[in-house]
Amino acid sequence: MVLRLKFAALLCLGIGAVSLSAQPGAQPAAKRTLVRAGHLLDVKTGKLLDAQTLIVVGETIQSIAPSATVSAQSGDAVVDLGGLTVLPGLIDVHTHLTGNTDFDPYRELTTTDAKEAINGVVNARTTLLAGFTSVRNVGAGGYTDVDLRDAVNSGQIPGPHMLVSGPALGITGGHCDYNLLPIQYHQVGEGVADGIAAVQQKVRQNIKYGADLIKICATGGVLSKGDDPQAAQYTLEEMRAIVADAHRLGRKVAAHAHGAQGILWASQAGVDSIEHGSYINDEAIAEMKKNGTYLVPTLYLEDWMIEKGNLPALYHQKMVDITGVAKNNIRHAMQAGVKIALGTDSSVYPHGLNAHELDVYVNQLGMAPLAALQSATVNAAALMGWSAKTGSLEPGKWADMIAVEKNPLDDVRVLQDVKFVMKGGEVYKNVGK
């Protein structure tokens, strides 16, 4: 009898143990990846720490500690980067991933949404492998950038984290309209809207179809027919209506603006960033500083165009004119204390060369290397509204990081040759491995 009771008790304990281990809430410990960095750069302070290990769980950084204190456990993946310098993945807040550098008018007229989508698949991968783990895409036809973002997010294709605008808003006949064909074709740009009611409707439509932000053309541009980069396009009242709707609906506004009047009005209207800023003057600088408006220079494209570009005649002179003044004006704005976020206008020059923009800031405009690097990390993340997710390497943020051969604060050009790329905890590039 006693033996039977003992057996029954043991049987109950065994059943209980099986029952507990089979509970649906029990989950295996998340797999860790240990990234062993020879050096780790804090982009907020410029401080360089030696022999650090970033512990990555899932898509985020769990902790950072001296490598000597972090031992690999069973099941850990270890990425040993030797003596490389690790820093956050870079951010470009002005890209056109669905476009390429051929601006022949016939090619422009024969471009389809399908062609843009194919471009996007190729260029998203190229941009990521160049070390840019987050981008804003500010203008694409047919909402192809919305689909591109969704394909990246679902893991269908490799690419950076993306915020996208869909078609840019512009006035009839302006920089964001289609101006190459004569009247009998009645071709109108997807984002064209005139008047307060029309621009409000267009903002709401873009958001309906998936836009994360609103891009507007506040002035004329270079790569468009019949408009003047210095001329303001949208009125102050129209831009205020755009910004009011966008902000109320949780979207920021980026304003393409070369001319000083358009820059001034756009900042007064409350846009979050001025793209290009070629003819910026003291009045516009003061307004932007007062309002906290970011300036997104796009300057490397000028060097590339001078060296390798082959623009059609209807665009060439406008590019020459802007190239003659933009760098001096942007330098003045930087020295005056306007907030800077890195943007490149990639597609005007080849994708993947994005880091050359930093070389221009430092070695042509005299920007401090740390300030330049912050324009592509903490500042860009703040403009995107992603400071809690990226822009620096800290616990709880995305495991977005790159590695280069030496400290970029000693030579910013080293960022043009990235050896390692991790985005969201997944390794996409590890040269030599």
Are residues 255 and 191 part of one domain? yes
**What is the rounded CA–CA span in Å between residue 240 and residue 244?**
6
Does 415 reside within a domain?
Answer: yes
State the chain's maximal CA–CA distance in angstroms: 104
Are residues 223 and 134 part of one domain? yes
Cα 130 to chain centroid, rounded: 13
**What is the rounded CA–CA span in Å between residue 192 and residue 186?**
13
pLDDT tens-digit series, residues 236-284: 999 999 999 999 999 999 999 999 999 999 999 999 999 999 999 999 9
Beta strands in 59-207 (DSSP E): 60-66, 77-80, 85-88, 90-95, 132-137, 161-164
pTM over 0.85: yes
Are residues 305 and 173 part of one domain? yes
Task: State which of 367, 384, 401 marks the end of a domain.
Answer: 384
Do the Cβ atoms of 376 and 37 come closer than 8 Å?
A: no
Does 18 reside within a domain?
Answer: no
Does 74 reside within a domain?
Answer: yes
Residue the block writes with tokens 């979207």? 251
Are residues 96 and 81 part of one domain? no
pLDDT number for residue 28: 63
Does 377 reside within a domain?
Answer: yes
Does 320 reside within a domain?
Answer: yes
Quick one: residue 250, left, alpha or beta (phi over 0 = left, psi -120 to 50 = alpha)? Answer: left
Are residues 235 and 222 part of one domain? yes
Q: Which stretches of the chain score pLDDT less than 50? A: 1-23
| Range(s) of the domain holding residue 158 | 90-384
Catalytic residue among 145, 212, 215, 318: 215
Are residues 260 and 181 part of one domain? yes
**What is the rounded CA–CA span in Å between residue 222 and residue 315?**
6
For 165, 206, 217, 332, 418, the CA distances from 280, given in Å and listed in that order, are 24, 29, 15, 9, 33
Does 400 reside within a domain?
Answer: yes
Both tokens of 369, joined, read 């290397």
Phi/psi of residue 82, nearest 5 degrees: 60, -125
Angle at 97 between CA 147 and CA 391, to 5 degrees: 95
152-183 burial by CB neighbour count: b if 16+ within 10 A, else e? beeeeebbbbbbbbbbbbbbebbbbbbbeeee
Does 17 reside within a domain?
Answer: no
Does 160 reside within a domain?
Answer: yes
Do the Cβ atoms of 261 and 371 come closer than 8 Å?
A: no
Phi/psi of residue 132, nearest 5 degrees: -100, 105
Are residues 286 and 260 part of one domain? yes
**What is the rounded CA–CA span in Å between residue 425 and residue 247?**
32
Are residues 165 and 54 part of one domain? no
**What is the rounded CA–CA span in Å between residue 353 and residue 123?**
11
Mark whether 321 is an active-site residue.
Answer: no
CATH number, position 135: 3.20.20.140
Q: Determine the length of the chain.
A: 433
pLDDT number for residue 27: 58
pLDDT number for residue 190: 93
Are residues 94 and 82 part of one domain? no
Total number of domains in the chain: 2
pLDDT number for residue 314: 87
Measuring CA to CA, which residue among 345, 250, 364, 241 is closest to residue 301?
345
Cα 285 to chain centroid, rounded: 24
Are residues 230 and 165 part of one domain? yes
Catalytic residue among 92, 345, 359, 400: 345
CATH number, position 82: 2.30.40.10
Are residues 96 and 84 part of one domain? no
CA-based torsion, 126, 354, 216, 204: positive or negative: positive
Both tokens of 31, joined, read 């797999």
Mark whether 308 is an active-site residue.
Answer: no
Q: What type of residue sits at position 210?
A: G
Q: What type of residue sits at position 419?
A: K
Are residues 269 and 404 part of one domain? no
**Angle between helix 236-248 and helix 260-269 axes, rounded to 10 deg:** 40
Both tokens of 379, joined, read 């500042």
